[in-house]
Amino acid sequence: MSEASVSANASAPKAAPESKEGKKEVKHLSYGALIARRFFRQPSAVVGVVLLAILVLFALFGSSIAQWGYDEPDFLSLSGAPSSSHWLGTDPGGSDLYALVVHGLGKSLLIGVITSVATMAIAAIYGTAIAFFGGWVERIGMWILDCLLVVPSFLLIAMLVRAANATAGWIWLVIGLTAFGWVGYARIIRTMTLSLRERDYVKAAHFMGVGSFKIILRHLVPNLASLIIINTVLGVVGAVNSETALSFLGVGIKPPDTSLGSILQTGQSTIQTAPWILLAPSVVLILLCFSMQLIGDGLRDALDPNSAAGGKVGA
């Protein structure tokens, strides 16, 4: 408390003459521009964005500078160490690790983003709907949510994905991760909606005869936008983690397709003879998850009116 008031006093005399001299027009800032300004004011968030941008560019265009495709093994170099022709070495099957990592990163990103968006869409609609209707709908809805939380979701996802994806590939991974991933988020969103449904504008819309689903989509979901956006960004980390775990256990992505988790699985078997197979996907995964987390934290601070990211007076 005392520190804050002291620093406010100290900065007041400095700020005062500036505001007298520069009689600038008050510039109108749109909400988006305000959030962007508050977001980019945080060094950690900028680091996150830069890291993510590099990774996305790497996933999109990394294959065009590669000398090998991820599905064309070089049988003259099995488990080869990094060299001029294979920049990151090769795996026991002779596949170029650089090409594998580029392809796997793309797949992990794709799965992570699609899963997170789909998960949050279901959670937002379900959570707001049961809170909005209240009464027995809410009671039954909550009971279903609790029921789905009883059995650890990882087990259900693994069961579904392992059984189904022998033919259909990574789409089933997304479906499985989405089908059981939304439950926890729906509970959070329901709790947030409980206070929203009592607001005057929701009641007004209701009494004017606006349909329930229109109210949910027009009034309730947009008011939870900040929460939903933050959870979507952070949800990517969770989805990438689950995907890595499943593929690592041999339940997720299957060869010839590859993801960072399945490269790790290959690397585990050769951990003593060819440790470089492990290092490249590990570093990429850590960077990916860390950058997403930094962006999510930055967004949370930017969207939170009480946070320190609002900057000092006058800024």
Which residue ranges make up the site for another protein (CB under 8 A)? 143, 146-152, 154-156, 158-160, 162-164, 237, 240-241, 244-245, 248-251, 261, 264, 267-268, 271-272, 275, 278, 281-282, 285-286, 289-290, 292-294, 297
Q: How far is the CB of 148 from another protein (least distance, A)?
A: 7
The single residue listed with the structure tokens 């059984």 is 163
Q: How far is the CB of 1 from another protein (least distance, A)?
A: 8
Which one, 115 or 128, has the nearer CB to another protein?
A: 115
Q: How far is the CB of 292 from another protein (least distance, A)?
A: 7
Which one, 54 or 147, has the nearer CB to another protein?
A: 147
Which one, 60 or 286, has the nearer CB to another protein?
A: 286
Q: How far is the CB of 123 from another protein (least distance, A)?
A: 19
Which one, 231 or 244, has the nearer CB to another protein?
A: 244
3-state SS of the chain?
A: CHHHHHHHHHHHHHHHHHHHHCCCCCCCCCHHHHHHHHHHCCHHHHHHHHHHHHHHHHHHHHHHHCCCCCCCCCCCCCCCCCCCCCCCCECCCCCEHHHHHHHHHHHHHHHHHHHHHHHHHHHHHHHHHHHHHCHHHHHHHHHHHHHHHHCCHHHHHHHHHHHHHHHHCHHHHHHHHHHHHCHHHHHHHHHHHHHHCCCHHHHHHHHCCCCHHHHHHHHHHHHCHHHHHHHHHHHHHHHHHHHHHHHHCCCCCCCCCCCHHHHHHHHHHCCCCCCHHHHHHHHHHHHHHHHHHHHHHHHHHHHCCCCHHHCCCCC
Which one, 73 or 82, has the nearer CB to another protein?
A: 82
Q: How far is the CB of 91 from another protein (least distance, A)?
A: 15
- What gap in Å lies between CA 302 and CA 300, rounded to an integer? 5
Q: How far is the CB of 265 from another protein (least distance, A)?
A: 8
Which one, 143 or 213, has the nearer CB to another protein?
A: 143
Q: Which of 238, 217, 230 is nearest to 288 (CA)?
A: 238
Q: How far is the CB of 81 from another protein (least distance, A)?
A: 15
Q: How far is the CB of 211 from another protein (least distance, A)?
A: 32
Burial 290-309 (b: 16+ CB within 10 A, else e): ebbbbbbbbbbbbbeeeeeb
Which one, 156 or 210, has the nearer CB to another protein?
A: 156
Which one, 114 or 294, has the nearer CB to another protein?
A: 294
- What gap in Å lies between CA 161 and CA 182, rounded to an integer? 16
